[in-house]
Amino acid sequence: MIIKVENLTKRFDSITAVDDISFEVEEGTIFGFLGPNGAGKTTTINILCTLLSPTSGRAFVAGHDCMKEPADVRKAIGIVFQDTTLDKDLTAYENLVFHTYLYNVPKDEMRGRVYDALRFVDLYERKDDLVKKFSGGMKRRLEVARGLIHRPRVLFLDEPTLGLDPQSRANLWEFITKLPEKHYVTVFMTTHYMEEAEVCDKIAIIDRGKIIAMGTPDELKRTVGGDVVYIKTTDNVNTKEEIERLLGLAVSEKEDELYLTCNMGDTCIPEMMRTIGEKVLSVRLQRPTLNDVFLKLTGKAIREEEAPPEKGIKEYVRAYRRRKEK
Ligand SMILES: Nc1ncnc2c1ncn2[C@@H]1O[C@H](COP(=O)(O)OP(=O)(O)OP(=O)(O)O)[C@@H](O)[C@H]1O
Ligand SMILES: [Mg+2]
């Protein structure tokens, strides 16, 4: 296990930001830390990256104790912070070279490593442009490249796609999902976009400092109660009985559709089709989402606590105008 966390707790005065969490991350996988604002994601990352000491508990990264051997841990990790930390007045190339100095990358390897990293995130052509001319998505990609230059064994990504438009998010995702294979790196990432968490090998859902569920995306979704299969037929009354007899599952009817909940929709559909196939007009399968999992566990949607972004932006713009008018 490349990351091991045991009963980790972090208190800030009266707030318990991280509350007795334990988990392990297997080498070469993508591990997702999923939770709403203030759940304790960044606090956990900061402890694992040796930037913050815990109130109690233990954490190990790449075999080193985060509290007792911080220098060894730092050598083994790369990090992309929630807020960007690039130097806007340097070029992409200069930002990465600066990083090679910090990590004592051998001089004769420096240029090659910087170029490789830039090529990996598709920014090689833009290497001599100032970072202040980059879009949000390009900056994020450059930060991922920077995080890889010293060849870390674990890369921490804190909300890597926050604030990016859907296309830039998808684009960045392409690079993130290739990391374990292309750079032999384990990825530990936080997000509150549920659809992004789908690509993780394993997910921990954290809420108010506690891990409330852990598993593969499929395992977590199975806890919601399975897939829902909707079927339209030429003869709902008889088909309903036939399916119930065949699968031993309760079938319900809503409007002109039959529907049933089953654990494995993809194997239960063919089984059904073999018997009632000729009466079937259409079939659709609805899988539970990670949002359903979160909703079931906490009784709220993951982003419910936030104002919708459009409203926030409008208010910001209005306040800005008012200030200017004065
Ligand atoms: N330095 C600090 N001093 C006091 N309280 C803190 C500090 N850092 C974090 N907290 C509190 O700890 C809790 C967890 O914060 P944290 O930043 O870890 O959440 P998060 O899951 O990363 O949230 P987000 O999705 O908004 O980034 C919050 O209630 C926050 O206010
Ligand atoms: Mg955070």
Residue 317 reports pLDDT greater than 60: no
Residue 311 reports pLDDT greater than 50: no
Residue 155 reports pLDDT greater than 70: yes
pLDDT digits (tens, 9 = 90+) for 212-261: 999 998 888 888 777 888 899 999 999 999 889 888 888 888 888 898 88
Strand partners, 3: 25, 61
Residue nearest to atom 7 of ligand 1 (CA): 12
Question: Is residue 15 within 6 Å of ligand 1 at its C-beta?
Answer: yes
Strand partners, 233: 280
Per-residue CA distances from 271 to 67, 246, 249, 250 (Å) = 55, 9, 13, 16
Q: Euclidean distance between the first and final Cα of the chain, in Å? A: 59
Exposure string of 215-249, with b = 16+ CB inside 10 Å and e = fewer, is eebeebbbebebbbbebbbeebeebbebbeeebee
Q: Which atom of ligand 1 is nearest to the CA of 35?
A: 21
DSSP H or E stretch at residue 78: strand 77-80
pLDDT digits (tens, 9 = 90+) for 62-120: 999 999 999 999 999 999 988 888 999 999 999 999 999 988 889 999 999 999 989 98
CA of 292 to the centre of ligand 2 (A): 22
Domain boundaries, the chain: 3-220, 226-286
* Ligand 1 site-directed mutation target among 15, 51, 53, most atoms within 8 Å of CB: 15
What mean pLDDT comes out for the span 132-151?
90
Tokens linked to 260: 């049933």
> Which CATH fold would you assign to the domain 3-220?
Rossmann fold (3.40.50)
CA of 14 to the centre of ligand 2 (A): 19
CATH superfamily name and code, 226-286 = ACT domain (3.30.70.260)
Lowest-pLDDT choice from 131-135, 262-266, 317-321: 317-321
pLDDT band per the 50, 70, 90 thresholds, residue 315: low
Residue 278 reports pLDDT greater than 50: yes
Cα atoms found within 13 Å of the Cα of residue 199, Cβ hemisphere only: 19
Local structure of residue 157 (DSSP, 8 states): E
pLDDT reported for residue 249: 84
pLDDT reported for residue 187: 94
Same fold, 3-220 and 226-286: no
* Ligand 1 site-directed mutation target among 18, 21, 43, most atoms within 8 Å of CB: 43
CA of 61 to the centre of ligand 2 (A): 20
Question: Is residue 263 within 6 Å of ligand 1 at its C-beta?
Answer: no
Residue nearest to atom 6 of ligand 1 (CA): 12
Residue 209 reports pLDDT greater than 80: yes
